[in-house]
Amino acid sequence: MSQQSSDKKVFCGIAFVLLVLILAFTLGCTVIYHVFSNRIPDIVTEGIRQQTVVEEVEPEPTGIVRVEGPEFIPTTIDFSFNGVGYSIAPKVDNDLYYGAFEMERELNNDPSFSEEEFYQDYYYRLTFDPEMDDAIEYVVLQLRLIRDEQELGVAGYAELIIKYVQSIPYDFDRLEEHQADLSPKGDPRLPVQTLVDGTADCDEKVMLAAALLSHEGYGTALLVYKEEAHAVLGLKGEGPGYLESGYEFVELTSPIYVSEKPEAIVGDVRLTSIPMILEFRSGSALYPQSAVDEIAFIIHARDTALAAAETKRAYIESTPMSQGQFDYEASLYEACFIAHNSLRVTVNEDGTPNYDTPFKDRIAALEWLAVNYWWQ
């Protein structure tokens, strides 16, 4: 074999090896590309295009869709807290108010939902629609000024928010419509509707209070008494709470203390059933157990005041005394009636709450009792 022929074979061999290496490298890069690239090859996407055509469907709105309507002025609510008078003036956009009025109010039709989940989902959507955030913030800014002025703590600030909502007049027309199985359009009212209208029934008050309190970091819940057709706010506390739920009972139809359950509510209805407790939002601000204990002290003083008054009257009538001593004993007698009437909600002759009578909030009541609670 000639040298030229041998060189040719060597060259061909080297060329073959190089070709194999090039092919292997190319295939390797292709495999690596498909492993690490998230791009689907054109041949695959083309096949998908030919097989299916996905039609985009616009989802049905489930929240507030703003709608224009006639101009209005939101209702200003006047109320007192710890003996000082205040006014809260809301600010609600025109199209937001009418959008809330027109919003569809329907229960979720998910068949997997329990009864509690149906109610929870329903009221949560009505209470916390993000379109209402600015209107809630506007009210909260005014409440914070009062908080700072009175140097309120966690308990006092919650009580301030609650007292504001309690001071919104109860809507007896709505009550009559519901009793007649009539549900007006836009019912139940969302928090922004209540702010504008300046009146509400029980569940509407709960929704507004929950929106305000949750905004400020408190845990809230809705207590639904189906048998009595009544709603109560649950305020997350440090202690066991109402029915060991962890939530304090808060009646909102009239001024009353946090954790106090009234003997009867509007219409002389007695709450005897066990409510559904529907959690709204959790929060880091808990209503202190110490405040609950102080309220129990206030209620005991109130509930024993009339008996003390009768004892004092009998003493005055049976004991000879000077005018100065008589005036002193009479002032003690009078203190019993002040305690009985101002440490609880009072009602008018027709049974409706009287929002104009003095009501000593927890802090004011404790200060007054420190001086006047002689019958303890």
CATH classification at residue 158: 3.10.620
> Same domain for 325 and 219?
no
Q: Is the residue at 159 inside a domain?
A: yes
This prediction has a pTM of: 0.81
Q: Which residue has the higher pLDDT, 302 or 13?
A: 302
pLDDT of residue 33: 34
> Same domain for 114 and 37?
no
Q: What is the count of structural domains for the chain? A: 3
Q: Which residue has the higher pLDDT, 172 or 209?
A: 209
- CB neighbours of 19 closer than 8 A, spacing ≥ 6? none
> Same domain for 279 and 303?
no
pLDDT of residue 301: 98
* Averaged pLDDT score across all residues of the chain: 85
> Same domain for 213 and 345?
no
Q: Is the residue at 11 inside a domain?
A: yes
Domain ends where: 287, 302, 332? 287
> Same domain for 329 and 279?
no
Residue 37 banded pLDDT, cuts 50, 70, 90: very low
Instruction: State what percent of residues in the chain have pLDDT above 90.
Output: 70
| Among 89-93, 177-181, 234-238, 356-360, the least confident range | 177-181
Q: Is the residue at 83 inside a domain?
A: yes
> Same domain for 268 and 317?
no
pLDDT of residue 182: 55
Q: What is the mean pLDDT of residues 244-262?
A: 96
Q: For 322-355, how does the pLDDT look when each residue is reduced to its tens digit (9 = 90+)? A: 999 999 999 999 999 999 999 997 766 555 666 6
Query: Residue type at 122?
Result: Y
pLDDT of residue 327: 97
> Same domain for 149 and 265?
yes
Q: Which residue has the higher pLDDT, 138 or 25?
A: 138
Q: For 104-148, how does the pLDDT look when each residue is reduced to its tens digit (9 = 90+)? A: 888 888 889 999 999 999 999 999 999 999 999 999 999 999 999
Give, in degrees to the nearest 5, the angle at Cα 129 between 123 and 132: 125
CA 249/CA 234 separation, integer angstroms: 5
Query: Residue type at 138?
Result: Y
Domain ends where: 287, 312, 327? 287
Highest mean pLDDT (candidates 20-29, 252-261, 355-364): 252-261
Q: Which residue has the higher pLDDT, 106 or 72?
A: 72
> Same domain for 248 and 336?
no
Q: Which residue has the higher pLDDT, 138 or 36?
A: 138
Q: Is the residue at 325 inside a domain?
A: yes
| Among 30-39, 85-94, 234-243, the least confident range | 30-39
- CB neighbours of 94 closer than 8 A, spacing ≥ 6? 68, 69, 71, 72
88-126: string of b/e by CB count within 10 Å (b at 16+)? bebebeeebbbbbbebeeeeeeeeeeeeeeebbebbbbb
CA 150/CA 143 separation, integer angstroms: 11
Residue 358 banded pLDDT, cuts 50, 70, 90: confident
Q: Is the residue at 96 inside a domain?
A: yes
Q: Identify the CA nearest to 143 among candidates 213, 220, 92.
A: 213
Q: What is the mean pLDDT of residues 23-29?
A: 42
Contact 316, 330 (CB under 8 A): yes
> Same domain for 45 and 87?
no
CA 187/CA 174 separation, integer angstroms: 9
Q: Is the residue at 207 inside a domain?
A: yes
pLDDT of residue 81: 96
Q: Is the pLDDT of residue 225 over 70?
A: yes
> Same domain for 116 and 23?
no
> Same domain for 304 and 270?
no
User: CA 290, 291, 294, 296: dihedral to nearest 10 degrees?
Assistant: -100
Domain ends where: 233, 264, 287? 287
Domain coverage including residue 32: 3-51
Q: Is the residue at 150 inside a domain?
A: yes
> Same domain for 298 and 270?
no
Q: What is the number of H-type helices and E-type strands within the chain?
A: 13, 6
pLDDT of residue 375: 97
CA 165/CA 90 separation, integer angstroms: 12
User: What's the Rg (C-alpha) of the chain?
Assistant: 35
DSSP state of 252: -
Phi first, then psi: give them for residue 72, nearest 5 degrees.
-150, 165
Instruction: State what percent of residues in the chain have pLDDT above 70.
Output: 78
Residue 55 banded pLDDT, cuts 50, 70, 90: low
pLDDT of residue 264: 84
172: phi > 0 → left, psi -120 to 50 → alpha, else beta; which?
A: alpha
Q: For 264-301, how does the pLDDT look when each residue is reduced to its tens digit (9 = 90+)? A: 887 788 999 999 999 999 999 999 999 999 999 999 99
Q: Is the residue at 59 inside a domain?
A: no
